[in-house]
Structures are given as structure tokens and as C-alpha cells.
Amino acid sequence: MRVVIVGGGTAGWMTAAALARLVPAAQAEIVLIESEEIGIVGVGEATLPHIRAFNTRIGIDEADFMRATGATFKLGIEFRDWARIGDSYIHPFGVFGRDTDGVGFHHYLARAGQIGRLQDFSLPVVAARAARFAPPADDPESLLSTYGYAYQFDATRYAPYLRARAEADGAQRIEGRVVAVEHDAGDGRVTAVRLADGRAVAGDLFVDCSGFRALLIGDTLGEPFEDWSRWLPCDRAVAVPCASEGPLLPYTSAVAMPAGWRWRIPLQHRVGNGYVYSSAHLDDDAARDALLAAIEGPALAEPRILRFRAGRRPRGWVDNVVAIGLAGGFLEPLESTSIYLIQIAITALVELFPDGTIDPADRDEFNRVLAIEYDRIRDFLILHYHATERDDSTFWTQMRTMAVPDTLARKMALFRARGRVETYREGVFLEPSWIAVYLGQRVVPTGYDQRADAPDETQLARAIERLHAATAAAARAMPDHRDYIASIGAAA
Amino acid sequence: MSAPIRTIAVVGDGIAAWTAAAALAVRLPGVRVAMVPHAARHRAMVDVVGATTPAALPFHADIGWDWRDALARAGGAIRLGTQVSGRDDYLHAYGAVGHAIGARPFPAVWAAHGTRPFHDYAPGARLGLAGKAPSRDPALAEAIFGLVLDPDRYARAVEGYARHRGVMVPAAPLADVAHGDRGVTALHLADGTHLTADLYVDATGRERRLAPPGEEAAWDDWSGWFPYTALTITSAPADPALPSLDRMTIADDAITVATHLPDRTIHLRLARAGAADADTLVPGRGQRGWTGNVVAVGEAHVVLPPVQGLPFHWLHTGIDRIVALLPGADLAAVEVDHYNRTANEEADRLRDLLLAHLPLTDDAPDTLRDTVTDFARRLRWRQRDGEGFARDDWAQILFGRGIRPARLPQGGDAEQERHLLDAIDRRLTAAVAAAPDHRMFLEGLIR
């Protein structure tokens, strides 16, 4: 089977590298078409811990990868000014405190009247605030096993890095710009793409990694786009890198702004910045000025403006075209899910890779898996905007008062009642993530699990203080983030 | 903050009611529990067949009653799984089977190169076939087991335990139930007194004595999928070998199950058409286990046939769910709805596991159809919300039914995988040979 990947950004090269490594060569010939004229969006600088499994599976060495992409470690995402101006919390890649007798730690804190201190009981939060980092431990008894980590890296360097691996594993790169798509009038299948120089590249399976253009899935096959901008109205971003000042922070920041939010992603060699905003509430010039006024050091490039729309295509796999990355859907980078969604699509494609002919049941399964992921991330993102007390701009008033999807309204009401999280078996964000964001956004439960009344009050207070001290001590014992990067030979 | 629930009245009798009362009294701090006797109209399956799943062990630990002590008081045996024959011959033993190589799950390794039955790589199945019980050998670490409790003795033991843990028992049994807008308003007892509580637990089994008027109709009947509703139960002398696997035979007209206790064997027959002395057991579930201030446990919510330890499993996980999701005294709708959603998801997954033993029919539930077809196409298995069993439980049943995947997950080095299969087999053979005999194991526990 000949697989033609259209587009060579992060999605394209991740797909090529994974297919070349994980699908036997006898079963798939991998071709990727990209054009040097077309830049890559590359906003996905921040990742989730799942990226490590992806890198490991395709045989990437961590230190080598970090050097090549100027990467830093990431223990979580800081949200500043979201529920109220002046608020700050971190959504960590890890758990809070220690669950006891099947009851979540936050219930015990609530019973002790200290739920506002939850952040202090997350080792990755405390370490991140102190700009420290150490890798987690395997011993489940150790506090050091209570977290994971991801990376912050230069996305414009990740794709070339993967390209070298993909080509070494047999993927073939074709330089060219796709100008037309040829498909069978009878069964609708795409048969070839035509390049600007007249060449036709034929294939059996096409992977649309053409970004927002969605050349195959959208333009050719006409798969509609389900628009979610009524809940997620931000449709532009202005991005600019700047020189970094201060300590190297092992976390990404998302700072709420009058018409959206601003990211700050610390890399080894620079800081990535961007302002994600709603064009209905802010014009481009004002956004650019607000971003340039907010960044900490001199801008290292001209600000770039990106346009997008939140939503997804109901089906990412139609006929013999699989959309991976922005061609399949877009959710703003608030929770660093872009690369995660690429990875989920690739994993599903590898697991469901056609054996000769494409089985419609495989397509359905791919579409089911992706739809669940998108829907659940969507609700999680909306939560950040909606659970706010801010009334200082029309944007925030609109977000605060909008009607949210029933699935989210139900989850929020359940948490408010007794601090319970609606959990699920498929989908990315687990219970600690929801707890972090609910509490960080001032969705505070009015009750708690009755079992948290079991321990004696004094003993509970002592256990809480011991855990607090142990968490602080474990963080203090970690090396400085920048020093740790240098110590493992990962400094660029 | 809404006030917490302070009083709970359990109504019913038998194992379901006393287990619920004991567990709620022990696990909910600051709650007083009363157990109001009400003679059952139908014998609950947990009172007849004492087979449990591995969920019974943590359940007992959580209520502060060591399962070894429960077994010593009630008499019984361990239960590693079920040996199935009739239509197909296979075993289902609890616990993980084999282990993955890289990204290839063990079921794929076996499907590619296995020469012996799949269950031969399941530690519990090997132990069960040899009449052995688990030892500390690491090769057997994955063999988990349930119990077979002697129902009559266990009923007395759990009642004693409940009373010991402070469950209050009124002098007179239930006479009548008064209903209001929000559910039960009072329980009238036979001596003319009455009793009220923040929450009422309906443990009256299929009678559903506390169900609000009209709620009886909100019932999903599963007998269209599982038509074996004529039940006969008999007792026979003990099998001297004391098997730790139930024996289930599945035929077109009837399913039979033999469950082994040290002093007798309980035989049950579930037939499509009943003999004159057969009881009727219609499987299904109430659509709302929790309405107003009444929550149903055991068969008052879901009726499952007594195979694979399902009735006890549902009783235990249902009580756990009440403990874990207990709302405040205001019984907020959002919390009750959440309880009902998760309870129904789990009940439906148990239903699917039950039906997985039978040929897939055209009108099978969609979730079961998807599970079977995903497995048959590509050996995919997803843990759905509410799923109480693991991939390898399903794999043993589906492989056992003769379902083979059309395609396998990518990868896999044939030599390495054959070597793994041989190595597991050798390790299990040695570990099982050295493991204790089942009866000796029980004597060791009870001493």
C-alpha cells in the first residue's frame, strides 16, 4: 500500500516517522510531499506527557531530541488571571496529595477547611514554581512517582528532526506544491495529487496534513467542519518569540487577557509568546500591541498573525483520506492538545492500518476514537473560559454568561455539589486535571465525600502538615531546571 | 453545604440486606443504620449460590472483616473461575494472562503463535485444572480469585457482623411503607411503631418493596437476550476433589452450573422452558436504581442469573457505589443522576459479559456487538465506562467461544513470541506443581 502524506509540518513528519517505523515496509511505502514555499504553523510548542511514549516508540533519545529542538521540561501549565485578575494556579501533570481509603485527597482538605491550599500538595506544582526539575521515580511509594512531565520545544525544529528519522526509516520526501487532487468519479476515492510542476503522485491511502487548508478532506471530499466557535470564539493568534529573562521555568503560562489569553513558553534559547484572541472583540493591531507590551524581553522576530476556527470534522477518515492535525480539527493551544491529537490520530491509524483494502469498520473506529478525544477536550477548554467571575471586558462577560454544552454543565454541577469528578475511560484529561482546573477557576464544592469525616480531626491536620512538608522538601531536593538539562547533556 | 446523611434504613432480609447494612454502618462515619426485616417474597440468588468474583476480597477488607475470617466462619472455598463446556470448551479464570511484548498485547502473541488453548497461559486456570490454590510464586501473582461462600452460614455470619458493628434492628418487621412526593416518608412496623431515615435502602430483592408507585414499570427486561428463565436448584454431595472452578454447561435448551462447597455441590439449571417445580428468574434492570430517598441494592435494582458470580458481584459493587457516591441529605438531583448513570453503565457491562458466553444474536445490545466485532476484526478491546472486568476476562471468553481475530496488531518477532509462550508455559507448570492443594490451602487459612 502506497501512503501519500500531503504536507510536511509537525503532523506530516510525525505521521511519516511513525508509519515508517511501525508499519512493516512490505505493507506500506511512505511518501511525503512538502513545499519549502509553504511555512509551517508550528504553534504547538507545548506538549502533554504522552509525547514521551511517542518519542520512545519511534526510538528517539531524549537528550538528543532536547538538544535538537532547544527543549525544556514541562511539569504543567500555569493559568494566571482566569477566574479573577490576580489569580494563579498550575494544572500539573500529576496528582494532588495522597488518596486514602479510596477517598480523594481534596475531600480531606475540604473537610479540614483548607481546600484553597490544594496546589501546595502537588509536587510538580511546587517544583515548577521554584524552577526545579527531576525525573519521576518508579517506586510507587515515593512522592517522586506522583507526576509525569512533557516538553516545551521549538516546533519548527521538531519536524526537521523527525524528517531525518523518517527518511532513515525509508520514508521518501518529494519537494512540491500540490495544486490539484485527482479522484475517481465512480467511487470517490482519491487516486493521485498533482504538483505545480505537473507531476502526479499516485497512492492508495492519502494522509491530509495540509493544515487549515484541508486540501483533501475539505476541498476535495467536502467533509464539513463542525464549528465550535460559539463556545470557543478565539479565532486569531499573534505570535512572537523574545529573549528570555530570569530563571528557566519548567512550565508554560497562559495569562488571561481582555479578549483571550496569552501564552508564554520558555525554551532553552528563547521564549515563545502569543496572544490568542477573538477578532470580534479585538483587532489585529491592538492584539499585536498588547502582546509586544506584555513580553519580557526584546522581540526576536516580527509578530506573525494566525487565523483559525475552533471545531472539528465529524469524520477524520473519509474514503481513502485520513486527516491528521489541523486538517481534521482545531482546538486552541490552551491545554497543549494539538500535538496530542496528532499523536492519537497516528496511533489509531497504525493500529487500524489497512491490510490491502480499507475496511469501513476501521474508518468508523478511527472516527469514533478521534471524536471522543475532541469532544472531551472541548468541554475541558470551555470550562476555563466559562468558570470565571471576570466582568471587566465584553469578551469575559460573554464567556461567563454563555450556555455551555450539557455534558459540561452536568460535570460542573456535580463538582460543585460534592467535589466529585465525572470520570471516563477514554479521553485525555483524568481526574486530577479536572480538580486542578475546577478549583483554580473557583468552582468550589459545597460538600465533600462523607468518608473524609472518618479520621480524627487532630490526626488529619497533622497528616496534612506532614504531607505538605514532605512535598516542599522533595521539591527543594530537586536540581535547578537549567542545571538538570545541562547535566543530562540536553543543552543545545 | 447541605447536611450530611445521618440515618439510613435498610429494608429486606438475607445476605443482601445484612451486607448492605454492615457495609454502610462501617464505611460511613457519623451514620446510624437500621435494618428493618422484611421476609423476601423470592429467594435472592446470593442467598442460594454463594459464588463471588474477586471483588468480594477488597469488599470485605473495606468493611473491616478479613475475608479469611469470613470464610472461616461461613465455610466455603476459593473460586478461580469457571470451566465452560457444551457448545464450546474453555475456561475463564480471573487475572491477567501472559504479558505483552512491546506494543503487542499477549492475546495477539497467542493468536499468532499459540499452540495450546489460551487459558493454558492463565495462572488461575492452570491452578484450577490441577486442583491447586495460589502460592507466593511470582509466576502465579496474577491469579486472583473470588470465593464460594456457604450461603446459609454466611447469612448468619454477616448478620452477626452487622449487629456487632452497631446496626440497629427494630423489634418488629415491616408492615407498610408510606410514600410521599420525594419518596418514602415512613416505614410502618408490625408493632404499630414507625421509623424514618434520611435514606432508605431497598434490599427486598425482586419484590422491590420500597419502589415508588409507578416505578415498577421502569424496568428493562433482558430475557429476550437471555431466555434461560426457568430455574431449578438442587444440592448434591460434595465433590471430594473440591474443584475451585465452577462447571458451566451451555446447551440450546438449558445452562447448568455446578458450584463447589467443601460439604456439598450446588447444581443449578436455567432452562428456556420450565419444569413444574422451576422458579422464574427474569434478568433485567430497573431504569433508576436511585429515586428520591430510596436506593435499591442487589436484585431490587438488577436481576442477574447466578453464573460467574454475577449476583454477588453486583451486590458488592452496588454497595461500594452507594458509599462512594453518597449525596448529602438534600439528595441533589445532579448527584442522584450521576449515581444512576454510572450504576446503569456497570449493570449493562455485566449483562454484556453474561451474553458474551452465548452466540451473538442479530438483536444483541450494540455495545456487545461492538465489543465482539472489534475483537474479531483486530483484537481490539476497549474498556468502556462501567466495565467491571478486564481485557483478559473478555479474551478468555471470546477466544473460548472460538472467535479469532481476522488481523493482528502490527509488529511481533515470531521467534521471540514463540519463546515467550514456551517460557510462560514452563514457568506455570513448575509453579502449579509446587502450589498447595485447594483443601490444604483452605485448612491453612482457617487455622
Cβ pairs bridging A and B (under 8 Å):
73
pLDDT for position A159: 93
Instruction: Find residues 312-341 of chain B whose CB sits inside 8 Å of chain A.
Output: 323-328, 332, 334-335, 337-338
B283: region left, alpha or beta (phi > 0 left; psi from -120 to 50 alpha): beta
E strand spans, A129-279: 150-152, 172-175, 178-183, 190-195, 200-202, 205-208, 226-227, 236-242, 252-257, 260-266, 271-277
Do A384 and A399 meet the contact criterion of CB atoms below 8 Å apart?
A: no
A264 compared with B214, residue with greater pLDDT? A264
**What confidence score (pLDDT) does residue B1 get?**
60
CA-nearest residue to A27 within chain B is B410
SS3 labels along A16-32: HHHHHHHCCCCCCEEEE
Q: Which residues of A belong to the active site?
A: 74
Q: Are B407 and A355 a contacting pair at CB < 8 A?
A: yes
Query: Residues of chain A whose C-beta is under 8 A from some C-beta in B?
Result: 22-24, 57, 101-102, 350-353, 355, 359, 361-362, 365, 410, 413-414, 417-418, 420, 422, 424-426, 446-447, 449-451, 453-454
Q: What is the pTM of this model?
A: 0.95
Cα(A474)–Cα(A136) distance, rounded to whole angstroms?
A: 11
Rounded mean pLDDT, B159-183: 95
CA distance linking residue A236 with residue A242, whole number of Å: 20
- Our measurement of the distance from residue A440's CA atom to the centroid of its chain's CA atoms, rounded to an integer in Å, reads 19
What ipTM, to 2 d.p.?
0.94
Q: Which residues of A touch B332 (CB under 8 A)?
A: 417
| Mutation site for A-interface testing, chosen from B323, B336, B410, B413 by largest number of A Cβ within 10 Å | B410
Give residue B304's pLDDT band: very low, low, confident or very high (50, 70, 90). Answer: very high
Query: Which of B2, B27, B28 is opposite residue A447, by nearest beta carbon?
Result: B2
Q: Does B407 touch chain A (CB under 8 A)?
A: yes
Question: Residue B236: CA atoms inside 13 Å, Cβ hemisphere, count?
Answer: 12
Q: Are strands B279-280 and B230-237 parallel, antiparallel or unpaired?
A: antiparallel
Nearest beta carbon to residue B409 from set A351, A418, A447: A351
Residue of chain A nearest B325, judged by CA positions: A449
Please answer yes or no on whether A351 and B323 come within 8 Å at the CB atom.
no
* Chain segment B238-270, per-residue pLDDT in tens: 999 999 999 999 999 999 999 999 999 999 999
Annotated binding site of A: 8-11, 74, 178, 326, 335, 339
Q: Residue A42's pLDDT is what?
A: 58
Provide, as residue numbers in chain A, all residues whose Cβ is less than 8 Å from the Cβ of B409. Answer: 351
Cβ of residue B101 closer than 8 Å to a chain A Cβ: no
Q: How far is CA A206 from CA A31, A187, A216, A359, B443, in A?
A: 10, 15, 8, 15, 65
Question: What do you get for the CA distance between the two ends of chain B, in Å?
Answer: 49
Q: Does B30 touch chain A (CB under 8 A)?
A: yes
The answer, yes or no, to whether residue B147 has pLDDT greater than 70, is: yes
Please state the rounded mean pLDDT for residues B7-33. 97
The shortest C-alpha distance from A453 to chain B (Å) reads 6
Local confidence band at B278 (pLDDT 50, 70, 90 cut-offs): confident
CB contact under 8 A, B335 and A426: no
Q: Which domains does chain B have, with CATH numbers?
A: 7-95+144-359 (3.50.50.60)
The dihedral built from the CA positions of residue A12, A14, A16 and A22, taken in this order, carries a sign that is negative
Tens-place pLDDT, residues B65-78 = 999 999 988 989 99
Contacts of A101 in chain B (CB under 8 A): 62
List, for residues B362-381, the tens digit of each pLDDT value.
999 999 999 999 999 999 99
- Binding positions of A for L-tryptophan: 335
CB burial class (10 A; 0-12, 13-18, 19+) of residue B366?
exposed
- The DSSP letter of residue A241 is E
Residue B105 has pLDDT above 70, yes or no: yes
Assess whether pLDDT exceeds 80 at residue B276. Answer: no
Domains and CATH numbers, chain A: 2-45+154-225+310-375 (3.50.50.60), 236-307 (no CATH)
pLDDT in 10s for each residue of chain A, 492 residues: 999 999 999 999 999 999 999 998 889 999 999 998 877 665 557 899 999 999 999 999 999 999 999 999 999 999 999 999 999 999 999 999 999 989 999 999 999 999 999 999 999 999 999 999 999 999 988 999 999 999 999 988 999 999 999 999 999 999 999 999 998 888 889 999 999 999 999 999 999 999 999 999 999 999 999 999 999 999 999 999 999 878 999 999 999 999 999 999 999 999 999 999 999 999 999 999 999 999 999 999 999 999 999 999 999 999 999 999 999 999 999 999 999 999 999 999 999 999 889 999 999 999 999 999 999 999 999 999 999 999 999 999 999 999 999 999 999 999 999 999 998 888 889 999 999 999 999 999 999 999 999 999 999 999 999 999 999 999 999 999 999 999 999 998
Written as one letter, the residue type at B287 is Q
Sequence letter at residue A149: Y
Nearest chain A residue to B376, by CA: A361
Q: Which amino acid is at A338?
A: S
> From the list B2, B324, B338, which residue is nearest A446 (CB)?
B2
Q: By C-alpha distance, which of B436, B380, B356 is closest to B84?
A: B356
A89 bridge partner residues: A79
Write the CA distances from A432 to A98, A104, A134, A436, A440, integer angstroms.
11, 9, 21, 6, 12
| pLDDT, position A437 | 98
SS3 (DSSP) at A64: helix
DSSP SS3 for B390? coil
Q: Which residues in chain A touch residue B323, judged by CB atoms under 8 angstroms apart? A: 451
- Identify any residues that bridge with B268 across adjacent strands, giving them in sequence order: B233, B257
The residue in chain B having the minimum alpha-carbon distance to the alpha carbon of residue A23 is: B410
Residue B236: all three cell numbers together = 448434591
- Residue B445 grid cell: 487459612
Tell me if A417 and B28 make a contact (CB, 8 A cut-off).
no
